[in-house]
Structures are given as C-alpha cells and as structure tokens.
Amino acid sequence: MVSTSSVDRYDELRREWIAEHAGIFSMQIRRAELLNRRIRRRTRDVAGARPSPYNDHPSHPLLTRGVKTVEGVLEVSAVIAAAILAPIGWPLGKLIYHRSESLIPGRLRSYPIPAFLWSAVALGALLVLLYRPADTLTNTIVAPWLLAQLPAAALTAGIYGILNGWLAVDGSTDWWPLAPPAPTVTLTLPLLPDDMTAPSPFRTIEPADPIDRTPLGAGAVRPMPRSSKLIVAGLVLNAVGIVWTLAAVGVGIKTFAEQAFTPSSTIGSSY
C-alpha cells in the first residue's frame, strides 16, 4: 500500500495557497505546516540531500492550544457550533473528503468542490420541503437535527476541500474533474527501414509536434482564469438553508412551548 506522504497531490501549490490565505486563523497555519512536513518527508525519501526531520514543528492541535486571542475564540466557537449542529455529519464529511482525496491523481485530477457543495444544497432543499413542526419535541427538534446530518456531511466535505487549498489546483471548480487518459504510444519506428536520406541543402519547416502540450485548464479545455461562481453560489445557498432551518426550528420550539405552558380553558365549571 502506498503511504499518504509518498503521493504528491499538488502539495506545494496547496501549501502556498493555504499560507497566503490563512489570515489570522491558526488552524490554517497548521494545515500549511502539515503539508510542508509531508513535502519534506517525501523529499527525504527520494533525495540524497535530506532535510532534517527535527526542523518540522507544526503547531499544536486546536484542543491543546490556549484560547487567549480573538482568533482562538473564533476558532473554538466555530468548532463548538459545528460539533453541536453536526456531530455525525462532521466526521462523516471528513471521511468523505479523505476517500475522495485518495482518488487524486489516479482517477481525479482535482478535488470536486462544487459537487459536494451542491449535493448539500439538494439534500438541504429536501429537508426544507419535508420539515413540518409537530406537537412533540422529538418531531420539532430531533427529527430535523438527524436529517440535517446528511447535507452537513456533503457541506463538510466541500468546505474541507476549500480549507485544504484545493482551489489552487486546476479543476477544483469543475463538477467532477476526471484525470486525463494516459497518452497512447505508437511504436512504429522499429518496424521502419533506416532513413539514409542526406540532409536537405534548403531550409525546411520543422514538422508539427504531434503531442498536445496545452496545459490543463487552458485552451479548449476551459477558459482561464477559473470561475468560482459555482462555489460561491453553493456556499451562499447553504448558508441561507442553514439560517432558514434554524429559524424554522426556533419557531417550532416557540409554538411547542406556548402550547405546553398555556393553561387550557375549562368550560362549564362552576365554583
């Protein structure tokens, strides 16, 4: 089995993108450091001049860092909110991300971020259409919370693709960027006789190169620069769906509380 560090999944491009867009968030800085450690480990495996492994000191995980800064409070708040809203969808989405990443670069040439974001939109739309507040607390809160784990898993897989720097790789804005087929090799040269023709005294035009050297994502494949409209629209629709679902559940809780704590009127009672 090939180890994770021995396969180059555009680690250098992703590390550079994450480092440039990390901002104040230490979680992203740690992701860039882990990718850098993977790159250095692969360099030690294939190169003679090996960098020292003792120079790799990535930041500690979030749970082991003290929350003393504004960005630390924001990160911990986001993690707590995700753990409460999607305790099943979060680990399931992370598993989907790692399984999809393992297909690169063999079957996929990049991570399909729009596919996961719009899958979350479709599953969330079904949740919105099926949700009906009921008289019981289970149907009002627990049922939509459990159903929301499916779109949360797809949304988590898409967000992990963004956070891990796949926007720096061409094809990440496509629906399902399949790896290009391997070029066919035609071995006709050994079957031909030796060419004993002397060079021409006149200047001639060199024959055209039969190999297409157009980079992926350019020319007839897709216009550059890459468009991120699908990703932005998917993120916006997912945010709207999350806000709408929370508001609908809040209204259902309010209605349930009013019905539970409002005393029923007695008709025909005499004192």
Please name which of 63, 61, 74 lies closest in space to residue 30, comparing C-alpha atoms: 61
Specify whether 166 is located in the same domain as 46.
no
Q: Are residues 53 and 102 in the same domain?
A: no
Last residue of a domain, one of 82, 101, 116: 82
Domain span including residue 47:
1-82
Residue 266 lies in a domain: no
**Contacts (Cβ under 8 Å, ≥6 apart) of 223:** none
pTM: 0.72
Q: Looking at 82, 99, 118, which one is the last position of a domain? A: 82
Identify whether 132 is part of a domain.
Answer: yes
Given 82, 105, 121, the domain boundary residue is 82
pLDDT for 239: 93
Please tell me the total number of residues recorded for the chain in this structure: 271
Query: Is residue 119 located within the same domain as residue 172?
Result: yes
Residues 73 and 11 in one domain: yes
Residues 108 and 139 in one domain: yes
pLDDT at 235 (0 to 100): 92
With respect to residue 15, please indicate whether it lies within any of the assigned structural domains: yes
Specify burial of residue 216 (Cβ count, 10 A radius: 0-12, 13-18, 19+). Answer: middle
Q: How many domains is the chain built from?
A: 2
Residue 213 lies in a domain: no
Q: What was the pLDDT predicted at 59?
A: 73
Inside any domain, residue 264: no
pLDDT means over runs of 10, the chain (271 residues): 66 87 83 85 69 64 74 85 91 94 87 93 89 74 87 94 89 83 65 68 67 48 60 92 87 75 55 43
Cβ atoms of 86 and 238 closer than 8 Å = no
Instruction: State whether 72 and 118 are in the same domain.
Output: no
What is residue 33's predicted lDDT score, i.e. its pLDDT? 85
Verify that 132 and 251 share a domain, yes or no. yes
At residue 55, the pLDDT reads 59
CA distance 19 to 33: 9
One-character DSSP codes across 99-149: HHHTTTTTTBSS--HHHHHHHHHHHHHHHHHH----SSHIIIIIHHHHHTH
pLDDT score of 117: 94
Same domain (yes/no): 34, 135: no
Co-location of 33 and 95 in the same domain? no
Whether 246 maps to a domain, the answer reads yes
Task: Please tell me the distance from the alpha carbon of residue 32 to that of residue 34, in angstroms, as a whole number.
Answer: 5
